[in-house]
Amino acid sequence: MSQPPVVIWAPAVKRLLHYKDLVPRLEEVLGKFSKRDSAEVLQPVRTAVPLQKHNGFMLSMPAYMENTGILSTKLVCLYKRNEGSTLPSTQATMLLLDPECGNMKAVMDGEVITHMRTAAVSAISAKLLMHPEAEVLTILGTGKQALSHYDVFTEMFAFKEVRVWSHTRQRADMFCQHVPGPLKAFSSAEEAVRGADVIVTVTRSTEPVLFGAWVKPGAHVSAVGACRPDWRELDDALMKEAVLYVDSREGAMAESGDVILSGAKVFAELGDVVNGAKPALREKTTVFKSLGRSLKKDRKPYVNCALLTFVLGGRNGSSGCRVCSAGV
């Protein structure tokens, strides 16, 4: 009989997972994914179950990395919470299985993983695409993703100024009180954005919150919210003017309202840039549209929780996963 799975909850994930390890591993897997080699990263269609009664979705995101020996799935519940709700809008669990015999090796909290993975991929986009002398970072949104993006962007880059906007001034002020380091809260998104070199959009908005007319030419945008085909965070002007990078072409065409509804053309995947197959056009205005997974009804591999199991549960010789052998 197989051993019961190891349970790794949020405090342990926080202890184990560090951006300095996560960022290079994610960069490596983004590159592997863009080569479309199914022995490297195979992530079939993500299934989305609408929870109409509760205004949400349950997403099932399996992944297999044959060469690395990783089999996993992430389950995400995504809710459109009412304003003022204290419940998280995104909740996630990860299951790590042994690909040799199918037994479950670990059950992991997926919330911290989702916060950190998403922010780390945005930071990779900035590393590759922002102007090398970028000085001003603006974050639109003040939730969980805003915090993880603040953490990794300030760890990796030396911005002279960090600005934050939320759709209520109170939220922006609260965010500034809770994070260490100098931050400026703004009541107007336009004022927060004008002159910024890097802009991160991490809101639950379904309408544009960032407009091309405000964006400084040559700025880099990491657009993280709006993950449904009819949701927007960016307006048409920005989507059409900017050079568009995505995590997956298939995902962007299937899921991103910003891409689908604006008719913008994808220039490259981040993995293409990592692989040297496409250039990083730093001097242009660039948008990285982050989605993390695909709903498209095809069998193309995709990348998301595979990235995290690669980091958390990479094979350690023949003895099984690092997480289990570490006995966490």
Ligand X SMILES: NC(=O)c1ccc[n+]([C@@H]2O[C@H](COP(=O)([O-])OP(=O)(O)OC[C@H]3O[C@@H](n4cnc5c(N)ncnc54)[C@H](O)[C@@H]3O)[C@@H](O)[C@H]2O)c1
Assess 203 for contact with ligand X (CB under 6 A). Answer: yes
d(CA 175, CA 100): 45
What φ, ψ does residue 132 adopt, rounded to 5°? -60, -25
- C-alpha gyration radius of the chain: 19
* Beta-strand runs (E) in 82-197: 90-97, 104-109, 136-140, 161-165, 184-186
Which of 154/205 has CB closer to ligand X? Answer: 205
Count CA atoms within 13 Å of residue 273 on its CB side. 23
Is residue 235 within 8 A of residue 226, CB to CB? The reply is: no
Interface residue with ligand YCP, options 292, 295, 301, 311 (CB under 6 A) = 292
Assess 323 for contact with ligand YCP (CB under 6 A). Answer: no
Which of these ranges, 16-24, 95-103, 176-184, 289-297, lies near ligand X under the rule CB under 6 A? 289-297
Q: How many residues contact ligand X, by CB under 6 A? A: 25
d(CA 25, CA 315): 14
Assess 285 for contact with ligand YCP (CB under 6 A). Answer: no
User: Judging by DSSP bridges, how do beta strands 136-140 and 198-201 pair with one another?
Assistant: parallel
CB 247, min distance to ligand X, A:
8
Interface residue with ligand X, options 13, 41, 137, 224 (CB under 6 A) = 224
Assess 293 for contact with ligand YCP (CB under 6 A). Answer: yes
Assess 72 for contact with ligand X (CB under 6 A). Answer: no
Assess 167 for contact with ligand X (CB under 6 A). Answer: yes
Residue 205 binding partner per list ligand YCP, ligand X, none, with a CB distance cut-off of 5 to 8 Å that depends on partner kind: ligand X
Assess 227 for contact with ligand YCP (CB under 6 A). Answer: yes
Is residue 224 within 8 A of residue 123, CB to CB? The reply is: no
Report the run of H or E that residue 156 belongs to, with start and end.
Answer: helix 144-156
Burial class (CB within 10 angstroms; exposed 0-12, middle 13-18, buried 19+) of 152: buried
Tell me the per-residue interface mask from 233 to 272 with ligand YCP, x by CB under 6 A, - otherwise: ----------------------------------------
Residue 311 binding partner per list ligand X, ligand YCP, none, with a CB distance cut-off of 5 to 8 Å that depends on partner kind: none
Per DSSP, the residues of 63-82 read EEETTTTEEEEEEEEEE-PP
**Residue environment code for 64-95, b if the CB has 16+ CB neighbours within 10 A, otherwise e:** bbeebbbbbbbbbbbbebeeeeeeeebbbebb
Assess 166 for contact with ligand X (CB under 6 A). Answer: yes
Assess 138 for contact with ligand X (CB under 6 A). Answer: no
Assess 251 for contact with ligand X (CB under 6 A). Answer: no
* Beta-strand runs (E) in the chain: 6-8, 47-51, 56-65, 70-79, 90-97, 104-109, 136-140, 161-165, 184-186, 198-201, 220-223, 243-246, 266-269, 286-289
Assess 275 for contact with ligand X (CB under 6 A). Answer: no
Residue 46 binding partner per list ligand YCP, ligand X, none, with a CB distance cut-off of 5 to 8 Å that depends on partner kind: none
Residue 234 binding partner per list ligand X, ligand YCP, none, with a CB distance cut-off of 5 to 8 Å that depends on partner kind: none
Which of these ranges, 21-29, 127-135, 143-151, 279-287, lies near ligand X under the rule CB under 6 A? 143-151
Which of 105/204 has CB closer to ligand X? Answer: 204
Contact footprint for ligand YCP (CB under 6 A): 76, 78, 90, 114, 227, 292-293, 304
Contact footprint for ligand X (CB under 6 A): 78, 89-90, 114, 118, 141-146, 166-167, 171, 202-205, 209, 224-225, 227, 290-292
